[in-house]
Amino acid sequence: MSSALAIASVTYVLKDLLNDGLINNNVSASTGGLVKVTALCPDVVPDPEVDKCTKLNLFMYQATPNQGWRNASLPSRDSRGGRTGNPPLALDLHYLLTAHAREEFHSEILLGHGMLLLHENPVLARNAIGNSLRNASASGSGLPAHLSSLGNSDLAEQLEQIKITMQPMSIDEMSKLWSAFQTKYRSSAAYQISVVLLESNMTARSPLPVLRRGRPENFAGGEDGITVTTDLSLPSNSSPTIDHIGYPLQQQSACLGDSITINGCNLSGGNALVRFEGRWHKNEVAIGTVSSDQLTFLLPSANIDEWAPGPYTVSVQVQRPERPFSEATNQLPFALAPAIILPPCAKKCVPNQKAELFDVTTTIQSVPPPRQEQKISLLLNDHEALAENCDSATGRVDFSFKALPPGEYLVRLRVDGIDSRFIDYAKKPPEFIAGTVVTIP
């Protein structure tokens, strides 16, 4: 998700797109003078008669909630008002593209080029957003120093892509809009930019999972819960397909060095290549001839810097003897969990201003090492703290907690939504893994 800087970042990227397009098309030659792209409110744009400059102005006049994302991740607070999540603020941004000129036909020339540029770029590519915002962060970008932080908005990494759509407006709507600006009407076109996802970095409570259901007196024979299975019956001549990933010890995520099982259909009879694709890395694990519709392989435990904890997608490429070409299966989600190898301890435990509460600083070490750009947090029971410092070379991460009551806390390291292992699912009913506890003070 993007930060609160995303709205300004969208405006900057669009302005950069228009400015580059006007330069590449040598529009100044058609207007016979300097052409500028601005992002100002229409009532403060300098009059072309005063500064003798032809301008294309981009102004965000309205932000509205995006209906598709409006109820995502809700509710976000529990019955006591405590924060349990950070649902994104999903916005559609509405812009007015306006041409300012003092010579006849110049407004039409400028507006035509601007509209064509937005028409030819209906989706802002992630690499284009990243390149533009990196320029904003660089010295000499033309932005004031305090606006260089636009490069940290994470706009290019948000889940949804930014789409540009022209919004026709009637004469009545356009008249009301310019009346609100309290300035002279200029040739204009309206656009909608969708969707921008803003997410808070505030910590949230994350309750421990329920390990068993039923009454406490019946826990010895507690129920396992509901089990869902699939029956994948496909003809032998169809494409190879995978339908299930099995983690060791009934876990819900894998660690480096684990034995992984992939079940599917039409996987047998050829060499297989398992592909992992994630935001930070793309890895491949080669395995030998498959004797059945099941693959079993080890996640490599060497070269840990080639991996990063977090979500991946997994597919299998199979070369079957009866076919001269290799075939790729569908993709399934895969979770690579961080493994805590340096046990957390209360490195610094200072009494809080409130009685019997403590401010705690702790350091953990994770394998594989998380990246500084990832969202990293440590949870002590349902208390969450975001990473303050992350060394991607060693995997050491620092955390600070405020006002914790004394006691024993179950430790979870969370990287991009994937938790380190803290539950033993092989036991019936499941139990929390011993050794994942820190004592305060």
DSSP string, 126-155: HHHHHHHHHHHHSTTSSS-GGGGGGGGS-G
Q: Are 387 and 376 in contact (CB under 8 A)?
A: yes
The angle formed by the CA atoms of residues 196, 200 and 202, to the nearest 5 degrees, is: 170
347: confidence class by pLDDT, cuts 50, 70, 90 = low
Q: Tell me the pTM.
A: 0.65
CATH number of this structure's domain 339-440:
2.60.40
Residue (of 337, 256, 266) closest to 297 by Cα position: 256
Number of H helices, E strands in the chain: 6, 26
The enclosing H or E element of 339 equals: strand 339-342
279-329, pLDDT tens digit by residue? 877 888 887 667 668 888 889 888 888 899 999 999 998 877 777 777 888
Over residues 203-262, the pLDDT tens digits come to: 887 778 777 666 665 555 544 455 454 555 555 556 788 899 999 988 999 999 999 999
% of residues, the chain, pLDDT over 90 = 42
Please count the other Cβ atoms lying within 10 Å of the Cβ belonging to residue 149. Answer: 15
Q: CB-based contacts of 125: which residues, under 8 Å, 6+ apart?
A: 161
User: Which fold does the domain 241-336 belong to in CATH?
Assistant: Immunoglobulin-like (2.60.40)
Domain ranges of the chain: 6-198, 241-336, 339-440
| Residue 84 or 413, more confident | 413
Whether the domain at 241-336 and the domain at 339-440 fall into the same CATH topology: yes
Confidence of residue 135 (pLDDT cuts 50, 70, 90): confident
Say what the pLDDT of residue 328 is.
85
